[in-house]
């Protein structure tokens, strides 16, 4: 067998680099969505691979719900600085104050409020393309997503009216006011992400590794006890050795009991996992079509 | 090139067939039996069983992702699925089989190494099986698997299997497919999908998964003719490193062949020539790079190169023309209009183009030419001639899928309206500046 072949990570990497360079070349004002989570950590490494030795030619954007894990935000700020990138943060707090986002009565989750906040940030900076770390293996509606996902002037996704993507030819043309969301990790799986993090020796926020934490059991999940989520009167609180598998808001991210305190152990755990990554996200459990509905409204 | 100790390679395949062929069931079976399904996915399956499956778990529900599809029991788009075995990683493009969705199959199959055509053992080779095989052949997918499904319903008959195989083989010479395999399966019961079936002692070949794990894909990319379409010019603004003060790199994905440091290259369309000084990557310089690696090339001479140019092997030039001959698949509800201007995206450049002639439509069940087609409508495949606003530097699609393909984009709406496959060039690229010498 010839040595001129790429293994699966090399293939996924070259595909993603190609996509990122298409964005840099075809869009005037692109941004990379960077939360500090494992997928966007891979995105930033791919941006280095695509654009070094030059500067990464687009800023990083994060929508802060105000319910982030503090460890995540610390990491996000530090990593952006290391890479010499410009980090733009827009908060749900601010959007609420300006009336851009409105909290439905009785609801605490800010997941839905990310949508108007993101759309307002896109408007404010006139971003015409945002690169995100979403993967098709995460969820059924995402399995139908394109690399270049066209959004109309309201940021909406129309699953029946997507542009066909053929070979590696991406149609990046949009009219003023319209928007593109681009997903270089479309073909990556959760396992690929961890294997890439291992291969590239990338740092990840500490909450991915096992640590002790006070938890309460709700809806079949362990949730972290915080000021935002105090135990109810009489509710048992347990100190467990846990870690996060996927990071959402601190009030809705299920923690998994795990001794995995290094990347190899995480990979070993992922390879025998019996629940999908998003199985620990309360935001996806609302209905069978929760993601489909949010995407149509402008979510990632 | 060094691979990590954990490395396996990756096979992309697509499945074609209608709901009735058991296509979704087959994919569900592959995922289920290779233990690629998770408990919460199985739970969700059980939850939806009552709605669509009459109380029985329906493996098809795994792949029909959108609510609209589940309610109508159809697949409206290409869905991608992922699974892995210790030997390989797989990407499945699941494409629907309805006649109106040729465009989705073209989309799903365009980057596939392999295509699985499902045949219902009771029905044998029907129009749809032929149509799918023809599309796979037009797109030049290197490997084809004919999965003869529902063998349980024909009593595992070897005779029936061979009958269908002969039906198919009769039709094969039209297809120009080099690698075709036939496998008897029952997707519903799992026979010969992942585990060998006790019902087919007369079949000695691999199971479907066994075949997917072992089919040789090392030569599916073009490694013969070096082509680097320039995507992006890399010029550091204020580099800290003094070595980078004059850095000028040409970034792109190698679309064909192998490039080595010191190799003489030509930039087209200008015709400027130089030598490869460095193959820059974040992980250090390479001595050589090959298709489909993404690299940054530094040349010996400071010459003018921009996005849309293509850097090629000086000894092996591609074709160049403003008059193109191609097969296209029309993908939009508005039919192709002869004479109308479209954008044409080919490698990394976009030019204007107008179709001058529709030569004929191709019958995608027989591959026969149907002359005198007044138009090409959604899901039609036809042979056309078109003229571009500037010369395209290209190879024939048969030689190189990346430098031989294009898309057409409607001006105004920006809709992607067609996928095109170029015929081999009749003229080799001539440098614009013939007298230029370094």
For chain B, domain boundaries? 9-214, 227-313, 319-422
pLDDT, position B47: 66
For residues A180, A173, A86, A135, the Cα torsion angle rounded to the nearest 10 degrees is 40
Between helices A8-26 and A38-51, what is the axis angle to 10°? 70
- Do the beta carbons of residue B60 and residue B90 sit within 8 Å? no
Helical packing angle, A190-199 and A263-272, nearest 10°: 160
Same domain, A150 and A237: no
Give the integer Cα–Cα distance in Å for A12 and A19: 11
CATH number at A179 reads: 3.40.50.620
What pLDDT is attached to residue B438? Answer: 47
Helix locations, chain A, DSSP H: 8-26, 38-51, 70-82, 92-98, 114-125, 190-199, 263-272, 290-297
Contact state of B244 with A186 under an 8 Å Cβ cutoff = no
Closest alpha carbon within chain B to A1:
B218
- What pLDDT was estimated at residue B432? 73
- Is residue A161 domain-shared with residue A231, that is, in the same domain? no
Query: Are residues A222 and A194 both part of a single domain?
Result: no
The answer to whether the CB atoms of B81 and A144 lie below 8 A apart is no
Measured between CB atoms, does A86 come within 8 Å of chain B? no
Which residues in chain A show pLDDT less than 50? 1, 286, 288
The fold for domain B9-214 equals Rossmann fold (3.40.50)
pLDDT at A275: 72
Chain B positions in Cβ-Cβ contact with residue A266 (cut-off 8 Å): none
pLDDT of chain B, 438 residues: tens digit per residue: 556 656 789 999 998 776 667 787 888 888 877 777 777 777 776 666 554 444 455 666 665 555 555 555 555 568 888 988 889 999 998 877 665 568 888 888 899 999 999 999 999 998 888 888 999 999 999 999 999 999 999 999 999 999 999 999 998 888 888 899 999 999 888 999 999 999 999 999 999 999 999 999 877 899 999 999 999 999 998 777 888 888 999 999 999 999 999 999 999 999 999 999 999 999 999 999 999 999 999 999 999 999 999 999 999 999 999 999 999 999 999 999 999 999 999 999 999 999 999 999 999 888 899 988 888 999 899 999 999 999 999 999 999 999 999 999 999 999 999 999 999 999 888 877 665 544
Nearest residue on chain B to A292, judged by CA atoms?
Answer: B66
Suggest the residue from A16, A27, A53 to mutate for an interface test with chain B (most B CBs closer than 10 A).
A53
Say if residue A171 is in the same domain as residue A31.
Answer: yes
Is the CATH code 3.40.50.300 the one for domain B227-313?
Answer: no
Q: How many helices (H) and strands (E) does chain A have?
A: 8, 10
- How many domains does chain A contain in total? 2
For residue range A53-107, list pLDDT tens digits in order: 999 999 999 999 999 999 999 999 999 999 999 999 999 999 999 998 888 888 8
A12 lies in the same domain as A155: yes
Task: List, in order, residues 6 or more apart from A116 with CB less than 8 Å away.
Answer: A95, A100, A101
> How far from the centroid of its chain's Cα atoms is residue B427's Cα?
26
Instruction: Give the Cβ contact number of residue A204 at 10 Å.
Output: 18
Contact A53 B405 (CB under 8 A): no
Asked if residue A220 and residue A142 are part of one domain, the reply reads no
- Structure tokens belonging to residue B302: 């400071």
A96 and A45 inside one domain: yes
A64 contact partners, CB below 8 Å, separation of at least 6: A73, A89, A90, A91, A92, A93
Given a contact cutoff of 8 angstroms between Cβ atoms, the answer to whether B77 and A159 are in contact is: yes
Paired strand residues for B180: B144
- Could you tell me if B172 and B164 are in contact, meaning their C-beta atoms sit under 8 angstroms apart? no
**Closest alpha carbon to B289 in B281, B323, B137:** B281
In a domain, A1, yes or no: no
pLDDT value for A143: 81
Strands A87-91 and A60-64: parallel
Q: What residues in B contact A275, CB-CB < 8 Å?
A: 38-40
Q: Cβ B80–A2 below 8 Å, yes or no? A: no
Euclidean distance between CA atoms B362 and B297, whole angstroms = 41
The alpha carbons of chain A give a radius of gyration, in whole angstroms, of 19
The pair of three-digit structure tokens given for residue B301, joined into one six-digit string: 């001479």
Residue B144 makes CB contacts below 8 A (sequence gap 6+) with B114, B115, B117, B133, B136, B137, B177, B179, B180, B181
- Please give the residue range of the domain that contains residue A193: 8-201+289-297
- Assigned fold of B319-422: Elongation Factor Tu (Ef-tu); domain 3 (2.40.30)
């Amino acid at each position: 067998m010839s040595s001129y072949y790429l293994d699966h990570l090399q293939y996924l990497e070259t595909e993603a680099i190609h996509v990122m360079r298409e964005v840099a070349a075809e869009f005037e004002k692109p941004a990379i969505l960077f939360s500090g989570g494992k997928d966007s950590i891979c995105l930033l490494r791919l941006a280095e691979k695509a654009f070094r030795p030059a500067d990464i030619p687009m800023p990083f954007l994060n929508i802060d719900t105000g319910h982030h894990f503090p460890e995540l935000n610390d990491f996000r700020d530090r990593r952006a600085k290391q890479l010499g990138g410009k980090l733009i943060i827009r908060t749900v707090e601010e959007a609420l104050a300006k009336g851009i986002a409105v909290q439905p009565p009785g609801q605490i989750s800010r997941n839905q409020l990310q949508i108007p906040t993101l759309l307002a940030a896109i408007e404010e900076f006139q971003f015409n393309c945002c690169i995100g770390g979403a993967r098709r293996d995460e969820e059924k509606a995402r399995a139908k997503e394109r690399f270049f996902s066209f959004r109309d002037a309201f940021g909406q996704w129309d699953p029946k009216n997507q542009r066909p993507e053929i070979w590696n030819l991406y149609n990046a043309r949009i009219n003023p006011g319209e928007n593109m969301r681009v997903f270089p990790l479309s073909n990556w799986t959760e396992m690929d992400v961890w294997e890439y993090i291992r291969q590239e020796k990338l740092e990840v926020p500490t909450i991915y590794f096992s640590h002790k934490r006070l938890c309460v059991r709700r809806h079949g999940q362990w949730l972290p006890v915080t000021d935002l989520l105090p135990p109810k009167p009489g509710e048992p609180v347990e100190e467990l050795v846990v870690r996060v598998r996927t990071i959402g808001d601190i009030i809705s991210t299920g923690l998994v009991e795990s001794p995995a305190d290094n990347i190899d152990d995480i990979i070993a755990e992922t390879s025998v996992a019996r629940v999908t990554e998003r199985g620990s996200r309360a935001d996806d459990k609302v209905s069978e079509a929760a993601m489909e509905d949010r995407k149509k409204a402008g979510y990632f | 090139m060094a691979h990590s100790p954990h490395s396996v390679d990756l096979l992309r395949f697509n499945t074609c067939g209608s709901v009735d062929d058991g296509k979704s069931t087959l994919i569900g079976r592959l995922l289920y039996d290779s233990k690629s399904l998770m408990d919460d996915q199985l739970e969700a399956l059980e939850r939806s069983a009552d709605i669509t499956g009459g109380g029985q778990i329906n493996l098809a529900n795994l792949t029909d992702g959108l609510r609209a599809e589940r309610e109508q029991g159809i697949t409206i788009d290409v869905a991608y699925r992922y699974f892995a075995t210790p030997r390989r990683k797989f990407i499945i493009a699941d494409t629907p089989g309805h006649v109106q969705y040729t465009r989705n199959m073209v989309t799903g199959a365009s980057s596939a190494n392999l295509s699985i055509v499902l045949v219902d053992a009771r029905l044998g080779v029907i129009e749809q099986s032929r149509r799918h095989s023809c599309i796979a052949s037009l797109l030049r997918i290197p490997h084809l698997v004919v999965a003869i499904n529902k063998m349980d319903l024909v009593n595992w008959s070897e005779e029936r299997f061979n009958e269908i195989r002969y039906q198919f083989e009769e039709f094969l010479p039209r297809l120009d497919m080099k690698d075709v395999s036939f496998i008897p399966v029952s997707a519903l019961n799992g026979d010969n999908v992942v585990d060998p079936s006790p019902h087919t002692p007369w079949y000695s070949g691999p199971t479907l998964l066994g075949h997917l794990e072992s089919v040789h894909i090392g030569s599916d990319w073009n490694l013969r003719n070096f082509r680097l379409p320039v995507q992006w010019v890399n010029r550091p603004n204020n580099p800290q490193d003094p070595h980078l003060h004059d850095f000028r790199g040409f970034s792109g994905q190698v679309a064909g062949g192998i490039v080595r440091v010191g190799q003489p290259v030509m930039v087209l369309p200008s015709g400027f020539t130089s030598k490869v000084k460095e193959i820059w990557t974040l992980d250090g310089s390479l001595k050589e790079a090959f298709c489909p690696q993404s690299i940054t090339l530094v040349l010996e001479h400071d010459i003018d190169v921009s996005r849309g140019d293509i850097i090629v092997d000086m000894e092996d030039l591609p074709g160049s023309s403003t008059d193109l001959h191609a097969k296209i698949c029309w993908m939009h509800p508005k039919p192709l209009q002869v004479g109308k201007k479209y954008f044409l995206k080919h490698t990394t450049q976009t030019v204007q183009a107008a179709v001058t002639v529709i030569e004929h439509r191709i019958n995608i069940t027989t591959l026969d030419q149907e002359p005198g087609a007044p138009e090409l409508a959604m899901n039609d495949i036809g042979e056309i001639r078109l003229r571009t606003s500037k010369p395209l530097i290209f190879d024939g699609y048969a030689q190189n899928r990346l430098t031989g393909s294009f898309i057409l984009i409607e001006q105004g709406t920006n809709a992607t309206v067609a996928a095109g496959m170029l015929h081999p060039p009749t003229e080799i690229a001539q440098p614009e500046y013939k007298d230029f010498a370094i």
